Chain A
């Protein structure tokens, strides 16, 4: 077991230690500068009480929930499934070309994808240009509908993952079952709902778990597109933790928010491991 030591050291030092330190620091008034930087004091539950009283935390938690549900669970997941299903029917060249287009935005570095999304939604951007060409008036999407813009951008960026998962899952669905249902006269939505979906349900569950965790952690996309603004209206929890810790220098409060995020991750992570364990005897 000796060869495992380097991995264990790395994981303990750079993953477990920060998590434990986060929980510890969230009970202190640690800060980037001033007295709290040299000699942080134990302040008990102060940071957590402040979190509940501070209007920006509940707002941010709500925005995170909407962001994850709308862009991961509905957007990426459903769109990924729809694309994968369409691919089983469409002509091969069409599905290959579209597959490349979908995967491209996923493979690009996150910051480049974020710039492209910013350009798309900005006031002088392509979306308004397209709307203008059909006679519709545009608006400054990033100011008027910041959450909607980042939801769409994250769906655009992340759907490839779900698409790949569902393509692999659908490829393993035996053709004859679906065909038998077809011969029996099942309509396509019936075949989808009663035959295909039950057969790929473990892929659906695993996929939902992974994309939820990925979306929960999204920072760069939001930071580039709106920086959490205007007036906190697109500040999800990672952005809020970053702002409190680094912009306002309040490490204690920032780690308290981070600790909440880590706890959410722990719950989903435990569910994920449990789910994979279920699958094997």
Chain B
């Protein structure tokens, strides 16, 4: 600190000076943050206002005759319910596959020391960095060769694989937090590892499993590119893809309906995010990648 002292103003008494300086900095910080926040919120304001405005365009304006007409217009089986059901099937399937595979993989990695564990975990981590958009061309080729194109199930397994590395890391971190002593009693009684996992470990890490499930679910729900490439039949496409054709094909875009659809499609992930963020201080998404 001696280096810094050269530019020093005459210091007031210790902690009080710090506190008053912080209080002085508060108002400019408030204003700067509010301006940044407004820039972030404004583009979303359009979405909300246009959804309530039957005469909406791309401009942000207060609806002259606010109504639910846009919502009513998209609330049809073909436009909304079928795509949302597909989204749900894809996302829940992806999250389910992830959970099963990740729990099975994380258990030995968390409980047993093996010389394969570390290399495996690091290769898995490495897998998280492959850009998925780069893999889509070869995956398409692979799916053609294996006759898996337009298969919902194969798409689920592929989507699950892309999120699996993150899921394994998150699950292992949560599992490490369950003390191993609790299982030892069960092992003494002759329970196998898998029985101990099911009856002792999993119930104790229920919350963590919920976080992994929701995290993967949110990612799958928002995924556009993968189903856009791998699912061809309209009846199988999730909302992310159907909304795109809705936008592209209807020559004149029905802006208000597009906004209404977007909101209905977004609500489930917003709700799930809030559920997880409340319990885990919104850092949940980072627990897999950053803490390592």
Q: Which residues of A contact B (CB under 8 A)?
A: 1, 3-8, 10-11, 13-15, 17-19, 21-22, 25, 30, 79, 82-83, 86-87, 89-91, 94-95, 97-98, 101-105, 107-112, 115-117, 119-120, 122, 124-126, 129, 156, 159, 161, 164-165, 168, 179-188, 190, 194, 203, 206-207, 209-210, 213, 216-220, 224, 237-238, 241-242, 245-246, 251, 254-255, 257-259, 261-262, 264-266, 268-270, 272-273, 276-277, 279-280
Cα of A98 to Cα of B34 in the assembled complex, Å: 7
Name the B residues within 8 Å of A14 (CB-CB).
139, 157-158, 161-162
A241 near B137 (CB under 8 angstroms)?
yes
Contacts beyond the supplied A1-B108, A22-B135, A98-B33: 14 A-B pairs with Cβ under 8 Å: A3-B108, A19-B130, A22-B141, A109-B222, A112-B266, A119-B47, A126-B58, A180-B1, A213-B131, A217-B131, A238-B131, A246-B229, A251-B137, A272-B126
Please tell me which one of the listed residues A18, A89, A268 contacts residue B142 in the complex, with CB atoms under 8 A apart.
Answer: A18
A6 near B100 (CB under 8 angstroms)?
yes
A185 near B131 (CB under 8 angstroms)?
no
Name the A residues within 8 Å of B105 (CB-CB).
3-4, 6-8
Residues of B within 8 A of A (CB-CB), count: 104
CB distance from B65 to the nearest CB of A (A): 20
CB distance from A181 to the nearest CB of B (A): 6
Cα of A242 to Cα of B43 in the assembled complex, Å: 28
A213 near B1 (CB under 8 angstroms)?
no
CB distance from A228 to the nearest CB of B (A): 13
Name the B residues within 8 Å of A206 (CB-CB).
289-290
A270 near B59 (CB under 8 angstroms)?
no
Q: B136 an interface residue at 8 Å Cβ cutoff?
A: yes
Cα of A161 to Cα of B133 in the assembled complex, Å: 20
Please tell me which one of the listed residues A156, A165, A186, A187 contacts residue B286 in the complex, with CB atoms under 8 A apart.
Answer: A165
A115 near B247 (CB under 8 angstroms)?
yes
A111 near B135 (CB under 8 angstroms)?
no
- The A-B contact count (CB < 8 A) is 308
Please tell me which one of the listed residues A8, A126, A262, A270 contacts residue B43 in the complex, with CB atoms under 8 A apart.
Answer: A126
CB distance from A49 to the nearest CB of B (A): 19
Q: B42 an interface residue at 8 Å Cβ cutoff?
A: yes
B17 near A182 (CB under 8 angstroms)?
yes
B290 near A165 (CB under 8 angstroms)?
yes
The segment from B3-11, B74-82, B199-207 found at the interface with A is B3-11
Please tell me which one of the listed residues A86, A104, A124, A207 contacts residue B41 in the complex, with CB atoms under 8 A apart.
Answer: A104
Name the B residues within 8 Å of A258 (CB-CB).
134-138
CB distance from B149 to the nearest CB of A (A): 12
Cα of A188 to Cα of B25 in the assembled complex, Å: 10
B:1-59 near A, CB below 8 Å: 1, 4-5, 7-9, 11, 14-15, 17-18, 21-22, 25-26, 29-30, 32-34, 36-44, 46-47, 50, 57-59
Please tell me which one of the listed residues A5, A7, A90, A269 contacts residue B30 in the complex, with CB atoms under 8 A apart.
Answer: A90
A238 near B133 (CB under 8 angstroms)?
yes
Q: B120 an interface residue at 8 Å Cβ cutoff?
A: yes
Please tell me which one of the listed residues B36, B43, B138 contacts residue A21 in the complex, with CB atoms under 8 A apart.
Answer: B138
